[in-house]
């Protein structure tokens, strides 16, 4: 079945440094890749997404890259701030509209 | 409201009891998803509705779990004969139809089976 893997499971960075989270997916028909941020006690919130016809997308301090051949996609956060601390989930949407999530990365930004 | 609303926010029930969890999606969103999230894990897909019909229910763990969406809007997740292992946060999301559309999540219902 469909599967999304995510690494690392935990990540600790100094404020101002960059953070990178990497994901792989198994369903080659997947064509939409959202990234969600989840704070304690809240539902996941979309922070950026990328579609299969695009290799890279940037929104201020956040960027995503997609390599469809290798079935890899990554989230890059630059100039990290303490408020970036949260759990981040990558996901892949299959051709049947099912959204499969990775296991999550707990990011801590140390002031 | 403008967002996805889930009620109740917290539910404590005794083992063996029946529970219903409600989801009010964003108005006009035809797609609705239910996920289950255990502590420290990513959301686990349960079921997906397109309109009134369940397009994919492959994630429901067993026949104690059932979900309906009779009018294509509000959905109810029903769990019979609850077990302690059912304790988790149950998340609902909705989106417009289409493979490239964003899913908006509710705050979730925290279910505790004692």
Inter-chain CB proximity B48 and A6 less than 8 Å: no
Q: Looking at beta carbons, which residues of chain A come within 8 Å of B101?
A: 32
Instruction: Quote the pLDDT of residue A21.
Output: 98
Alpha helix stretches (DSSP H) within chain B: none
Pairing of strands A10-14, B109-113: unpaired
Q: Does A102 touch chain B (CB under 8 A)?
A: yes
Does the pLDDT of residue A95 top 70, yes or no?
A: no
Q: Do B106 and A43 touch (CB under 8 A)?
A: yes
Look-up of token digits 């404590």 = B12
Confidence grade of residue A24 (pLDDT, cut at 50, 70, 90): very high
Give the confidence band of A94 by pLDDT, cuts at 50, 70, 90: confident
Stretch B84-92: mean pLDDT: 97
B41 shares contact with chain A (CB less than 8 Å): yes
CB atoms within 10 A of CB B23: 27
B56 neighbourhood in chain A, CB within 8 Å: 96-98
User: Looking at the complex, does the CB of residue B66 fall below 8 Å from at least one CB of chain A?
Assistant: no
Please determine, for residue B2, whether its predicted confidence score (pLDDT) is greater than 60. yes
Q: How far is B43 from chain A (nearest CA, A)?
A: 6
Q: Is the pLDDT of residue B105 over 80?
A: yes
* pLDDT over 60 at B15, yes or no: yes
Mean pLDDT of B9-14: 97
Q: Please determine, for residue B1, whether its predicted confidence score (pLDDT) is greater than 60.
A: no
- Over residues B37-77, the pLDDT tens digits come to 998 889 999 999 999 998 889 999 999 999 999 999 999 99
Residue in A43, A51, A98 nearest the CB of B107: A43
What is the arithmetic mean of pLDDT over A35-59? 92
For testing the chain B interface, which of A4, A5, A43 should be mutated: the one with the most B CBs within 10 Å? A43
Residue A2 has pLDDT above 90, yes or no: no
Confidence at residue B96, expressed as pLDDT on a 0 to 100 scale: 86
Among A1, A4, A97, whose Cβ lies nearest the Cβ of B48? A97
- Decide if pLDDT at B8 tops 70: yes
- pLDDT at B81 (0 to 100): 98
């Amino acid at each position: 079945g469909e599967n999304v893997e995510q690494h690392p499971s935990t990540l600790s960075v100094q404020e101002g440094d960059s953070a990178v989270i990497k994901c792989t997916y198994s369903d080659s028909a997947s064509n939409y890749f959202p990234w969600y941020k989840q704070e304690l006690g809240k539902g996941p919130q979309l922070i950026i997404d990328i579609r299969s016809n695009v290799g890279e997308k940037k929104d201020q301090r956040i960027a995503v890259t997609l390599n469809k051949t290798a079935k890899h996609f990554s989230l890059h956060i630059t100039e990290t701030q303490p408020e970036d601390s949260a759990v981040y989930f990558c996901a892949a949407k299959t051709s049947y509209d099912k959204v499969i999530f990775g296991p999550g990365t707990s990011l801590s930004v140390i002031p | 409201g403008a967002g996805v609303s889930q009620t109740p926010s917290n539910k404590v029930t005794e083992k063996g009891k029946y529970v219903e969890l409600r989801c009010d999606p964003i108005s006009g969103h035809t797609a609705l998803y239910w996920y289950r999230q255990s502590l420290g894990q990513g959301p686990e897909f349960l079921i997906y509705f397109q309109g009134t019909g369940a397009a994919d229910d492959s994630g429901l763990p067993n026949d104690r779990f059932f979900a309906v969406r009779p009018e294509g809007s509000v959905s109810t997740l029903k769990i019979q004969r609850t077990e302690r292992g059912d304790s988790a946060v149950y998340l609902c999301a909705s989106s417009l139809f289409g493979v490239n559309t964003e899913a908006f999540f509710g705050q979730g219902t925290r279910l505790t089976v004692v």
